[in-house]
Structure 1
Amino acid sequence: MFIILYNRSLRTIANILTLNSTVAILILSSDTLAIGIYVLYRDIKRRELQMEIEMKSLFLCHVRGYIAHMSFGALVYSYAIQACYRLVGTIFYHRVSYNHLRIYVYAICIQWSFSILQLLPIILGNNQIYIKHEYLCQIAIENSKAVGYICFTNYIIPLTIIMIIYYKITRSVRKKENNGAYKYNIHRVRRQVVLIQRIVILILVLLVLGGPYSIFIILEALSIKRAPSYSHRIGFMFISIACASSVITIIYFTRSVRKMIIEFLSIKKKSLQRNELQQLNSIQNMKLTPKRMPMSTTDDT
């Protein structure tokens, strides 16, 4: 993130969209870490904490819960914006107006505004509650309306957008291959394949992010099986794994950022080796230099 902000040559549309996803991942990871620390603290001190202390910490508990929903939605919609950018670069690349940075800046502003405003029905309806046995402030699995609303806005809509874009790109590539449009442009064929692979990986990350909650909701809605007692903790565990995999995916796919990170690490390694050599040389010089004996002074008589 800081590499893109520091280097102006890296401020392209693709890198700005990557930066947008990285900010959402950073907020979600920080909030998940804060929730994990609080839950661990409550597990250790559960018998020592009084109800008054618990009630005082409920406000921050609810804030952490709202930030989790907001950052999750922002992350998923940032992937949808990236998919739209790849759709433009694949099918509508001849339309120059679609490749302006200003359009994607507006899209990012809309993404964050929607991620915040979508929580208003949850906040106004007091749908987020404190779950005592999990020490979390989340929407109860039994509240099917609120959970369905969050799943629809935060998960189903962006996932549907990405799937439609994946279908459009795949159909366009196959159609042009059959027509012989890529016969003399192998580089473009490889580029389309790479773009499709990246969208598939984004979809897999989304499935990891929302898979456990979706399974619990379906089982609860169909009355097949009640959700586990620690369903929210299981969901946050998968969110943590997905955040780590998202960061690795972003670094791996952003070639310029990956190159700068490798160069930075190599420079750091060389500087450490140089410092170690200087220290060894200084130690050897100290050992080789003879120690001078102090001059004895005699008084003239």
Structure 2
Amino acid sequence: MNTTNKLPELLIIYIRPHFIFFDMFLISSIFLGCIFCISFIYISVGYRSCHSVLTLLSANSCVAGLIFNCVQLSNALLLFRDDIYLSTSNQNQYCEIRNYLMHVSGSLLYYSYCIQSISRLCFVVFYKHSFLLSYHIHFILIAIQWTLGFLLPISILTSSHRQYQTETSQCFITIKNVSQILYGMISTFLLPITIISICYTHIICFVRAAVRRAKKTNALPARRFNLKRDQG
């Protein structure tokens, strides 16, 4: 009886060191990402030569990435603590708040990339409209991004179908709440990725059309030159 009861404990002790190794690797990777984000923000703010609309959007993405890394770092540290002490955290320990912040940070990051794609669309396709290239428009886009980033995932706090996952020490919406899962997927991932895809597809089509027009324009003088050379 004693041997049978101790067998699961021995298996847990054998597996936990592997989890600790991966936790340390995850924490170090996230910490390195935080350093890169802080470095870019410092450079973009501290040097006047870097002050531009494109740098502003990149710094905005770095701020969103820094928030995302900080949220993931807190989750990784909590998981690391659980693996060290061979225990599981209390599911009521700010579980809903951490889940909300995880979705907020992801939304902020994805929508920051969405703003970058919209800005590139304005600079490449709608470059004749100078007001679209101004700081004022981009500050409005950034304000919309941060507003959506905090408001869209707020329904997670009111969702009643949540399940605590001991492996990750986090709360997740159960499969039973299909509408909430679809809403989270569409608002956090599908919508910004769709906008990004549309913007870059339009940019590629515009550039290809411009290249074709340039080739036709350059081909006409070359034909005239060859014709005169043959006649002469």
Shared fold, TM over 0.5: yes
Is 1:100 aligned to 2:134, yes or no?
Answer: yes
CA contact (8 A) 2:64 2:105 kept: yes
Partner of 2:66: 26
Kindly state the Cα deviation for residue 113 of structure 1 after the two structures are TM-superposed. Answer: 0.8
Partner of 1:247: none
2:213 partner amino acid? N
1: distance between equivalents of 2:110 and 2:204? 21
1: distance between equivalents of 2:204 and 2:217? 17
1:134 to 156, 168, 174: 168
Kindly state the Cα deviation for residue 31 of structure 1 after the two structures are TM-superposed. Answer: 1.0
Is 1:125 aligned to 2:165, yes or no?
Answer: no
Quick one: structure 1 residues 112 and 45, their matched pair in 2 at CA, closer, same or farther if it must change by over 3 Å?
Answer: same
CA contact (8 A) 1:127 1:146 kept: no
CA contact (8 A) 2:162 2:174 kept: yes
1: distance between equivalents of 2:216 and 2:95? 55
Quick one: structure 1 residues 123 and 91, their matched pair in 2 at CA, closer, same or farther if it must change by over 3 Å?
Answer: same
**SS of the residue 2:137 aligns to:** helix
Quick one: structure 1 residues 38 and 86, their matched pair in 2 at CA, closer, same or farther if it must change by over 3 Å?
Answer: same
Is 1:54 aligned to 2:94, yes or no?
Answer: no
Quick one: structure 1 residues 39 and 157, their matched pair in 2 at CA, closer, same or farther if it must change by over 3 Å?
Answer: same
1:82 partner amino acid? Q
1:96 partner amino acid? S
2:78 to 38, 44, 52: 38
2:53 to 4, 8, 13: 13
2: distance between equivalents of 1:7 and 1:26? 20
1: distance between equivalents of 2:76 and 2:99? 12
2: distance between equivalents of 1:26 and 1:7? 20
Partner of 1:73: 107
1:125 partner amino acid? S
2:102 partner amino acid? A
CA contact (8 A) 1:129 1:138 kept: yes
1:165 to 199, 204, 210: 199
2: distance between equivalents of 1:127 and 1:86? 40
**The structure with more radius of gyration:** 1
Kindly state the Cα deviation for residue 40 of structure 1 after the two structures are TM-superposed. Answer: 2.1
Is 1:151 aligned to 2:185, yes or no?
Answer: yes
2:150 partner amino acid? I
2: distance between equivalents of 1:69 and 1:149? 12
Kindly state the Cα deviation for residue 4 of structure 1 after the two structures are TM-superposed. Answer: 1.2
CA contact (8 A) 1:4 1:15 kept: yes
Quick one: structure 1 residues 134 and 71, their matched pair in 2 at CA, closer, same or farther if it must change by over 3 Å?
Answer: closer
2: distance between equivalents of 1:61 and 1:183? 63
Partner of 2:225: none
CA contact (8 A) 1:70 1:119 kept: yes
Taking only aligned residues, the RMSD between alpha carbons, in angstroms, comes to 2.1
Kindly state the Cα deviation for residue 54 of structure 1 after the two structures are TM-superposed. Answer: 2.0
- Any unmatched runs of 5+ in structure 2? 1-40, 219-232
**SS of the residue 1:54 aligns to:** coil
CA contact (8 A) 1:5 1:11 kept: yes
Identity over aligned pairs, percent: 28
CA deviations over 1:138-166 (Å, ceiling 9, x no partner): 32355332221111001111111111112
2:83 partner amino acid? D
Quick one: structure 1 residues 148 and 21, their matched pair in 2 at CA, closer, same or farther if it must change by over 3 Å?
Answer: same
